[in-house]
Amino acid sequence: MATQDTTRDRQPGSAQQPDRAESDDGRGRLRRAITLLIGGVLVVRGLRRRSVRGLVMALTGGAVLGRALGVSPSRSDSGSAAPTVAGESTEVTRSITIGEPAQDLYEAWRDPETMSKIMGHFADVQPQGEDRLQWTVQGPRGWDASWETRIVDEQPGESIVWRSPADAMVPNEGEVQFSDAPGDRGTEVTLTISFDPPGGSVGSAAARRLDLVPEAIAGKALSRFKSLVESGEIPSLDENPSARGSGDLV
């Protein structure tokens, strides 16, 4: 199966940094200026490094910059990001438009094999009987985390909601919604995922240790889902040759 992996070499994600609403006072402006500076430095340094880690650094910097500059359109053809922080929870919502009917997309999302393919960039996903999936993420130094999710609500052709048990190692929940896009554009698919929902302080440490960045996970999962259903495959750099060898991590 086609996979790429960016989770292992990632910088701590921007989405994990609290970004509470700020009034436009001096402190807010200063914080914004500092954020801009940090984002800029990450982009420049990241691009200069010319390494996988550097690329990810640049990517993170770009996201930080984008947030500080307020560049986060709520809707667009190919995706949008609106990370929010409520209490200790890290939640992200991303949208993508896919040129297939909502019902087909709903059915594809419901297929455990699809989940295994589109989440393959950060987790191994295995079906555990009706409505349940087992997720395993490889952390640093052989430290693995595993949890189960269960579909707790669904409206065929419209939405699916899943959740882990409250005492899971990494408490998390997710929702995907399907709604018609204008004209012949297909369906707008909106994915919300949240690691460590309110109340899960143990999970919080686990999520940080695993370096889970909901924004990167959601964005990639959606584009992989779109590629899979539209073109029948996920674009891949597996075995991509270079003087570094075979295969590319980024």
* The only residue of 63, 105, 119, 133 in contact with another protein, by rule CB under 8 A: 63
Q: Where are the alpha helices (DSSP H) in 51-193?
A: 52-68, 102-110, 112-118
168-207: which residues touch another protein (CB under 8 A)?
184-186
* Cβ–Cβ under 8 Å, residues 134 and 210: no
Using CB under 8 A as the binding rule, whether residue 243 contacts another protein is answered as yes
CA dihedral of residues 57, 175, 124, 247 (deg, nearest 10): -40
* The only residue of 15, 57, 58, 207 in contact with another protein, by rule CB under 8 A: 58
Q: Interacting stretch for another protein, rule CB under 8 A, among 85-93, 145-153, 155-163, 222-230?
A: 222-230
Q: Interacting stretch for another protein, rule CB under 8 A, among 134-142, 153-161, 199-207, 214-222?
A: 214-222
Give the whole-angstrom CA distance, residue 116 versus residue 124. Answer: 6
* The only residue of 44, 152, 166, 205 in contact with another protein, by rule CB under 8 A: 44
Q: Which residue has the tokens 């259903």?
A: 229
User: Two tokens at 122?
Assistant: 């950060």
**Taking the alpha carbons of 175, 110, 139, 54 in that order, is the dihedral positive or negative?**
negative
Coarse DSSP helix, strand, coil percentages of the chain, rounded to the nearest 5 percent: 35, 25, 40
* The only residue of 62, 171, 174, 214 in contact with another protein, by rule CB under 8 A: 62
Cβ of residue 20: shortest distance to another protein, in angstroms? 23
109-168: which residues touch another protein (CB under 8 A)?
none
Cβ of residue 109: shortest distance to another protein, in angstroms? 17
The count of residues in the chain is: 250
Using CB under 8 A as the binding rule, whether residue 237 contacts another protein is answered as yes
Using N-to-C axis directions, what is the helix angle for 52-68 and 26-49, rounded to 10°?
A: 160
Cβ of residue 179: shortest distance to another protein, in angstroms? 17
Cβ of residue 81: shortest distance to another protein, in angstroms? 9
Q: Which is nearer to another protein, 206 or 221 (CB)?
A: 221
What are the b/e assignments for 142-178, b being 16+ CB within 10 Å? eeebebbbeeeebeeeebbbbbbeeebbbbbbbbbbb
* The only residue of 9, 17, 38, 55 in contact with another protein, by rule CB under 8 A: 55
Draw the binding track, 66-105, toward another protein (x: CB under 8 A; -: no contact). Answer: x----x----xxxx-----------------x-x------
* Cβ–Cβ under 8 Å, residues 81 and 99: no
Which positions touch another protein (CB under 8 A)? 2, 4, 44, 47, 50-52, 55, 58-59, 62-63, 66, 71, 76-79, 97, 99, 184-186, 216, 219-220, 223, 226-227, 230-246, 248, 250
